[in-house]
Structure 1
Amino acid sequence: MKKSYYLFNPGRLSRKDNTLCFTPVDEHGNEGQARHIPIESVDNLYCFGSLDANSALYNFMGKHQVAVHFFDYYEHYTGSFMPKEYLLAGKMQVAQTRHYLSDKKRLVIAQTLINGAAFNMSRNLKYYQSRGKEVSEALARMEEYTQQIALCNRVDELMGIEGNIRQAYYSTFGTIINDFEMGNRSKQPPQNEVNALISFGNMMCYTVCIDQIYHTQLNPTISFLHEPGVRRFSLALDLAEIFKPILVDRTIFSVLNKKQIQANDFRNDTNRCVLKDSARKTFTQAFEDRLKETFKHRSLGRNVSYKHLVKLECYKLSKHILGIENYKPFKMMW
Structure 2
Amino acid sequence: MINLESYYLFSNGKLLRKDNVVRLQRQDGKYKDLKIEVMRDLYLFGEVETNTKCLNYLSQMKIPVHFFNYYGYYTGSFYPREQNVSGTLLIEQVSAYQNSLKRMELAQKFVFGAVENCLRNLKYYQRRGRNLTDEINQITALEKVIFRTASIQELMGIEGDFHRIYYAAWFKIFNKDVEFDKRVRRPPDNLVNALISFLNMMTYSVCLSEIYITQLNPTVSYLHTALERRFSLSLDISEIFKPLLVDRIIFNLINKGIVSEEDVEKNSNYCYLKPTSLRKVTQAFDEYLQKTVMHRQLHRKVSYRHLIRLECYKLVKDLLAEQEYQPFKLWW
TM-score bucket (shorter structure): over 0.9
SS at match of 2:265: strand
Of 145-154 and 71-80, the range deviating more from structure 2: 71-80
Q: Of the candidates 34, 38, 42, which is equivalent to residue 35 of structure 2?
A: 38
Q: Of the candidates 234, 257, 269, which is equivalent to residue 255 of structure 2?
A: 257
The percent identity for this pair of structures is: 44
CA deviation after TM superposition for structure 1 residue 178, in Å: 2.1
CA deviation after TM superposition for structure 1 residue 95, in Å: 0.4
The change in CA–CA distance for 1:231 and 1:137 in structure 2 (over 3 A counts) is: same
CA deviation after TM superposition for structure 1 residue 11, in Å: 1.1
Q: Of the candidates 135, 141, 150, which is equivalent to residue 138 of structure 1?
A: 135
Of 234-243 and 262-271, the range deviating more from structure 2: 262-271
Q: Of the candidates 251, 275, 278, which is equivalent to residue 276 of structure 2?
A: 278
CA deviation after TM superposition for structure 1 residue 270, in Å: 5.5
Work out whether residues 18 and 38 of structure 1, in 8 Å CA contact, stay in contact via their aligned partners in 2. Answer: no
CA deviation after TM superposition for structure 1 residue 112, in Å: 0.8
Residue number in structure 2 paired with 1:195 = 193
CA deviation after TM superposition for structure 1 residue 66, in Å: 1.3
Q: Which residues of 2 match residues 78-227 of structure 1 at below 5 A? A: 78-179=75-176, 180-227=178-225
CA deviation after TM superposition for structure 1 residue 32, in Å: 4.7
Deviation per CA, 1:62-92, whole angstroms, max 9, x where unpaired? 1111111011233221111111101121000
TM-score, structure 1 normalization: 0.96
Query: 2:256 is matched by which residue type in structure 1?
Result: K
Residue number in structure 2 paired with 1:11 = 13
Of 266-275 and 91-100, the range deviating more from structure 2: 266-275
Distance 1:250 1:24 in 2: 35
Residue number in structure 2 paired with 1:23 = 25
Query: 2:211 is matched by which residue type in structure 1?
Result: I
TM-score, structure 2 normalization: 0.97
Query: 1:24 is matched by which residue type in structure 2?
Result: R
Q: Which residues of 2 match residues 251-330 of structure 1 at below 5 A? A: 251-269=249-267, 271-330=269-328
CA deviation after TM superposition for structure 1 residue 175, in Å: 1.5
Residue number in structure 1 paired with 2:51 = 54
SS at match of 1:80: strand
SS at match of 1:128: helix
CA-based RMSD of the aligned residues comes to: 1.1
SS at match of 1:204: helix
Of 52-61 and 36-45, the range deviating more from structure 2: 36-45
CA deviation after TM superposition for structure 1 residue 34, in Å: 1.4
Q: Of the candidates 231, 234, 250, which is equivalent to residue 233 of structure 1?
A: 231
Of 128-137 and 295-304, the range deviating more from structure 2: 128-137
Work out whether residues 173 and 181 of structure 1, in 8 Å CA contact, stay in contact via their aligned partners in 2. Answer: no
Work out whether residues 72 and 278 of structure 2, in 8 Å CA contact, stay in contact via their aligned partners in 1. Answer: no
Distance 1:178 1:192 in 2: 17
CA deviation after TM superposition for structure 1 residue 274, in Å: 0.6
Structure 2: any 5+ residue segments left out of the alignment? none
Of 198-207 and 56-65, the range deviating more from structure 2: 56-65
Work out whether residues 289 and 305 of structure 2, in 8 Å CA contact, stay in contact via their aligned partners in 1. Answer: yes
Work out whether residues 292 and 307 of structure 1, in 8 Å CA contact, stay in contact via their aligned partners in 2. Answer: yes
CA deviation after TM superposition for structure 1 residue 17, in Å: 2.6
